[in-house]
Structure 1
């Protein structure tokens, strides 16, 4: 049953980014009424690399999205990695049972709008301009029973999903702050008119130099170049809080210094910039928990679901959305408020922990290591030239392995994730 213009529903989802819209679509497909509340109006821009790995492609397919080139998606075949030498290393995405052999590229303004409309098409009610700033709780139980917007409008539901991003005012209003023992990143990006716009590989720069490569200072962070297929390239960089320069760095100046040393003909210069340089936080490795409690579920950045290995957030937000919808649909069928329904809802954080907890714990160790540019330089100098090692690293960083019938690399990565304590 779809929501029909009221202020009550089975579930309220706050935030219509990839995590929120995917949650709403999954819930509506399972027969629940859903209010999807978005503070801004579509189309709206979000800071993102716009490049998605096969993991995100799989999530889109599972949601029922046509990811064909005919449907407007740019496909990519793998990674082109700069680091350790002048020529890049080119690695195709692995050929796997569990994941497709291609990633996709789409601008976030269009991507988010499309996912929100997909949720509406399945029966969710989208309310734009609903800037939620606090939870409404039951005085006796402390459970969330609705939300209130900045302009005083109330919406009610027995279950609420916080998909309102890194700052998550809704989670904070329920007493859920961030954990300081989890890594955090900052990403800045902009667009340039560039002849490199048509590129079927995502490009990653593991070394950022503040002058001539290998003859200047190695800076903290990593860079990317993703061709958008529309005459522009999305160019950006990420810096981790495990690096000494975090918080003291002028990221826009850092981006410019790096790009000033790329070939002139690529076009990554101020006169070719489209729009301005914008930044965003990357909350990693479950930096806000618990992911369920007192009727509130966290999905995406609100629950710190960005992969610490590669900064990817969309795939994990969409996977969490499906897991959250499964738990809520089961709880709804058992009767919200019963002990059995509560056990079903507790299955959501348990599933996240089982599927990603060990992997994210390994990621927290990884980011501590690469936060030191000297270690990054050693890795790129002595590790990158070894093709077999690089294939292993690519599978690890992009979290692309077969769980059942994988090769030796898959079995090693899967075993490491199992033995690591959950993040």
Structure 2
């Protein structure tokens, strides 16, 4: 239903109803705050995503009370490269379940937004946020918004101002609010790209998330082995998500490479077995591509009344291109800090509470992302990538370590020897 004409207000305004924004809205509502969630488009819009949910993402969904009983489950990773094939089951861990999930992004976003509404969040779709509202001191105190053109029944009928003591930018890689207040991207951080398509395929019965580590920018056998991987995994209903992800250590390195990743994707599809039916007549929807902002490439994550969540804060993992788990976690951490701030009686106290959010992000992801940047800088060299695939895959204990690193599936406290080793590594390096 369209909102009444005139300005609006809330305790928190969340811009963008993707995983980060909807998770934040859910947690804010359950913590008793009046939250307004603004989404530019209608729910269920198709987005370029791998759709894979690691156990780390599953943990966040469980914490939200999401019913995932009908979602596609997977039991681990199948890694292929250098003439080797290895199956790595998701381990049962104290804080992580022994399974992953897959859900088409259009369905996931709709499910999460509706779950937030069920918790008490107010959702308005078809609302484009055009600019932040700032005080004389430069603090963000709200947003300006207008109806989105060509969206049926937008949530507002005319431009409005929405005021709130806290605004969260969960608007994705464009991060329009962050950009408007001068928070630019750090082009020294890694940048990824993803290309994907859906196919109706016999591979939809596969219970493993398959990663293929050899992507060539040209015929196989040349030296231009790309830093990245191809993926194939079922998302249910007879569909598989097929895609590739590649990464560069910096924005400049990505530009210098100048690779047509859609062409790489199409060449790759041209060499898979015909029985998989990865052909145009079995494709469902478009071939899409998107940039992946990585390793906290936009900061600060909180300052002057504006928080950055998920892709808006560059939270995609440089290890594997995953962003959903991090987006969900950022929404939870942001909401926790906001609730603590709302309970303070002074402006100084509120700011101190809000500062918990970037600190929590650094504690959870900072050292890990620094390791990711080192990882990307290494595999950017084709000879290193070739050595990793040829000689690393046969070493199962090494690959268990790699699997925990790549999937962010390591215990932050306790755990086994591999977890302790990763904990040590993340403490030894500076935070991202």
Question: For the structure 1 residues 245 and 122, does the alpha-carbon distance in structure 2 shift closer, same or farther, using more than 3 Å as the test?
Answer: closer
Question: For the structure 1 residues 138 and 212, does the alpha-carbon distance in structure 2 shift closer, same or farther, using more than 3 Å as the test?
Answer: closer
Distance (Å, rounded) in 2 between the aligned partners of 1:216 and 1:174: 43
- Tell me if 1:230 matches 2:237: yes
Distance (Å, rounded) in 1 between the aligned partners of 2:170 and 2:103: 21
Any residues of structure 2 matched to 1:14-163 within 5 Å, and which? 14-68=15-69, 72-85=70-83, 87-139=84-136, 141-150=137-146, 152-163=159-170
Structure 1 residue 404: Cα displacement = 3.0
Distance (Å, rounded) in 2 between the aligned partners of 1:109 and 1:409: 35
What secondary structure sits across from 1:32 in the alignment?
Answer: coil
Distance (Å, rounded) in 2 between the aligned partners of 1:270 and 1:186: 22
CA offsets per residue over residues 219-250 of structure 1, 9 Å max, x none?
44311111122222111111212396656122
Alpha carbons 1:192, 1:232 under 8 Å: kept? yes
Alpha carbons 1:145, 1:295 under 8 Å: kept? yes
Any residues of structure 2 matched to 1:206-245 within 5 Å, and which? 206-209=213-216, 213-214=220-221, 218-242=225-249
Aligned residues: CA RMSD: 1.7
- Tell me if 1:355 matches 2:364: yes
TM-score (norm 2): 0.92
Distance (Å, rounded) in 2 between the aligned partners of 1:114 and 1:324: 20
Alpha carbons 1:300, 1:317 under 8 Å: kept? yes
1:168 to 165, 171, 175: 175
Alpha carbons 1:94, 1:395 under 8 Å: kept? no
Structure 1 residue 303: Cα displacement = 0.3
Structure 1 residue 214: Cα displacement = 4.7
Alpha carbons 1:210, 1:258 under 8 Å: kept? no
What secondary structure sits across from 1:61 in the alignment?
Answer: helix
What secondary structure sits across from 1:12 in the alignment?
Answer: strand
Distance (Å, rounded) in 1 between the aligned partners of 2:281 and 2:117: 40
What secondary structure sits across from 1:406 in the alignment?
Answer: coil
Distance (Å, rounded) in 1 between the aligned partners of 2:220 and 2:261: 19
Alpha carbons 1:10, 1:32 under 8 Å: kept? yes
What secondary structure sits across from 2:68 in the alignment?
Answer: coil
- Tell me if 1:392 matches 2:401: yes
Structure 1 residue 399: Cα displacement = 1.5
Distance (Å, rounded) in 1 between the aligned partners of 2:116 and 2:363: 27
Structure 1 residue 331: Cα displacement = 0.5
Equivalent in the alignment of 1:302? 312
Equivalent in the alignment of 2:379? 370
Point out where structure 1 has 5 or more consecutive residues left out of the alignment: none
CA offsets per residue over residues 151-191 of structure 1, 9 Å max, x none?
53211111000000011111111111111111011111011
Question: For the structure 1 residues 215 and 250, does the alpha-carbon distance in structure 2 shift closer, same or farther, using more than 3 Å as the test?
Answer: closer
- Tell me if 1:252 matches 2:248: no
Alpha carbons 1:211, 1:261 under 8 Å: kept? no
Structure 1 residue 338: Cα displacement = 1.4
Distance (Å, rounded) in 2 between the aligned partners of 1:313 and 1:218: 24
Structure 1 residue 58: Cα displacement = 0.3
Structure 1 residue 387: Cα displacement = 0.8
Aligned length: 414
Question: For the structure 1 residues 264 and 216, does the alpha-carbon distance in structure 2 shift closer, same or farther, using more than 3 Å as the test?
Answer: farther
Structure 1 residue 289: Cα displacement = 0.4
Structure 1 residue 126: Cα displacement = 0.4
CA offsets per residue over residues 266-293 of structure 1, 9 Å max, x none?
1112232221111111101100000000
Distance (Å, rounded) in 2 between the aligned partners of 1:242 and 1:270: 33
Structure 1 residue 113: Cα displacement = 0.4
Q: Which moved more, 1:255-264 or 1:14-23?
A: 255-264
- Tell me if 1:420 matches 2:429: yes
CA offsets per residue over residues 106-126 of structure 1, 9 Å max, x none?
111111001000110111110
